[in-house]
Amino acid sequence: MSNLHRSWVESANRAETDFPLNNLPYGMVSRPGEAPRCGVAIGDQVLDLAGLEAQGLLSFGGVLGTAGWNAFMALGPEAWQRLRAELTALLSEGAAQRETVAPHLIPLSDVALHMPFAVTEYTDFYAGRHHATNVGTMFRGAENALPPNWLHIPIGYNGRASSVVVSGTEITRPHGQLKGPQDAAPRFGPSQRFDIELEMGAIVGQPSTGPLSVDEAFANIFGYVLLNDWSARDIQAWEYQPLGPFQAKATATTISPWIVTAAALEPFRAATPAREVALLPHLQDTGPMLYDIDLQVGLAPDGGAETIIARTNYKEMYYSAAQQLAHHASSGCPMRVGDLLGSGTISGPARENRGSLLELSWGGKEPFQLDTGETRSFIADGDTLSLYGAALGEGYRIGFGPCTGRVGPARA
């Protein structure tokens, strides 16, 4: 773990900031009435990169003025390294260009945050062993908790890219076909078991057209976001056999607004857990490719204080994003810049580590307590659900900024 890199932006040197010089996460920001532009968060400020490029302090062919980080990602790893090195130099304590750069800082409190990139396609995995075991135990019993393929394949399904929204977007409780085990027939109505899934999202930054090794896949991942895979458990229960979840997962998926780069997370690399059965060669670990990222889930009832309802860590996953991407490409499936890979729900071994309400309330059978005195099994109208994440260094943190959504009532 490296130490804090000090910046002349004083707020970036505080231990509690999500955005020290070590982080440099990329987002899309706008001031009122202006179009979104590429920015990097530093302390309580955002640096306007389109402005810096216009002034000649950066030179990336104008891609920093485009509507999302996709065009920059497409430039490739050499450009990724160069921008990070140049921003580090421009923002370091004692930088010669301080006076030229400072006018391009905007207080974070003055900007709106937009989708940091256009999601080309979205794939969601099911690669956390604690989550898969919990859900499997609830639905199939402890003996058959893990499906037979689970220890061999990072199980995933294609999600819906059009439904991915940035933190802060209001979520409408979905309608869907519902049929309880005792019901004679299905009905169409608002989901009664609306839930979250705490995940990390990995962003593919380079295209590929054939199979990828795990190392190649790792090199193609540009960065990470927090990801909340909103899930209607009752819609899912009725629809998912035999072809998997569809409308249960199509209402929305919320991501945090800053892309934290793989480069920023490099000091926090962590290994996957010991394997019960060896993976086939094309999926085997070639080094630590998870990250040590502390994660929390908060739930705030309408107008009430927030309770942290779960705490876990990204390093609990059984498969890394690189292994997921290698599997994804194994059939020859073309991958493109801006593809988003959800990790799967990140639960840990203990009760307080569970990354979904389904697990926290054990299928609704054991409602859990909020600090306000209320209880929950699933989401109530007006609840705000937030994910938080940070890799913790010596005296600094690589934070993601919150991934938040308030759930409004179903359409009339």
Contact call for residue 37 and a second copy (CB under 8 A): no
What is the separation of C-alpha 351 from the centre of its chain, rounded to a whole number of angstroms? 22
Peptide bond into 242 cis (omega under 30): yes
Cβ closer to a second copy: 54 or 118? 118
Q: How far is the CB of 48 from a second copy (least distance, A)?
A: 30
Token output for 283: 């999926």
Catalytic residue among 5, 114, 130, 131: 131
- Of 342, 324, 343, 338, the closest CA to residue 120 belongs to 338
131 is catalytic: yes
Interaction residues for a second copy, span 183-242 (CB under 8 A): 185-188, 210-211, 232, 235, 238-242
**Closest CB to a second copy among 91 and 337?**
337
Instruction: Tell me phi and psi for residue 375, to 5 degrees.
Output: -120, 160
Q: What is the DSSP string of 63-92?
A: GGGSSSTHHHHHT-HHHHHHHHHHHHHHHB
Backbone angles phi, psi at 270, to 5 degrees: -140, 150
The SS3 assignment for 392 reads strand
Q: Rounded CA gap, 408 and 398, in Å?
A: 31
Task: Tell me the C-alpha distance between 119 and 166, whole Å.
Answer: 11
Site string for a second copy, 134-153 (x = CB under 8 A): -------------x-x--xx
Of 29-37, 62-70, 103-111, 160-168, the window that binds a second copy (rule: CB under 8 A) is 160-168
Count residues binding a second copy (CB under 8 A): 59
Among 290, 335, 358, 398, contact with a second copy (rule: CB under 8 A):
335
Q: Pick from 24, 108, 111, 248 the residue near a second copy by CB under 8 A.
A: 248
- Residue 303 or 332 with smaller CB distance to a second copy: 332
Q: Is the dihedral of CA 296, 113, 203, 58 positive or negative?
A: negative
What part of residues 250-269 is at the interface with a second copy (CB under 8 A)? 250-252
> Does 412 interact with a second copy (rule: CB under 8 A)?
no
Q: Which of 6, 14, 82, 175 contacts a second copy by CB under 8 A? A: 175
CB of 371 vs a second copy, minimal distance in Å? 31
Considering the complex, state which of residue 18 and residue 199 has its C-beta at the smaller distance from a second copy. 199
Tell me the C-alpha distance between 330 and 29, whole Å. 36
From 57-65, 254-262, 335-343, 372-380, give the range in contact with a second copy by CB under 8 A: 335-343
Residue 173 or 315: which CB sits closer to a second copy?
173
**What is the closest distance, in whole angstroms, from the C-beta atom of residue 52 to a second copy in the complex?**
32
**d(Cα 362, Cα 59) in Å, to the nearest integer?**
53
Q: Which of 170, 232, 220 is nearest to 326 (CA)?
A: 220
d(CA 263, CA 117): 18
Query: Which candidate, 152, 111, 100, 102, places its Cα nearest to that of 129?
Result: 152
The residue from 65, 112, 145, 246 that contacts a second copy (CB under 8 A) is 246
Does 74 engage in binding with a second copy (CB under 8 A)?
Answer: no
Q: Around 1, how many Cα atoms within 13 Å sit in the side-chain half-sphere?
A: 15
Minimal distance in Å, beta carbon 173 to a second copy?
A: 9
* Structure tokens that stand for 398 in this block: 């690589």
| Phi-psi sector, 63: left (phi>0), alpha (psi -120 to 50), beta | alpha
- Residue from 36, 51, 116, 174 binding a second copy (CB under 8 A): 174
User: At 374, is the secondary structure helix, strand, or coil?
Assistant: coil
- Which of 45, 123 has the CB closer to a second copy? 123
Binding site for a second copy (CB under 8 A): 120-121, 126, 147, 149, 152-153, 155-163, 172, 174-177, 179, 185-188, 210-211, 232, 235, 238-248, 250-252, 277, 280-282, 327-328, 330-336, 339, 411
Catalytic (active-site) positions: 131
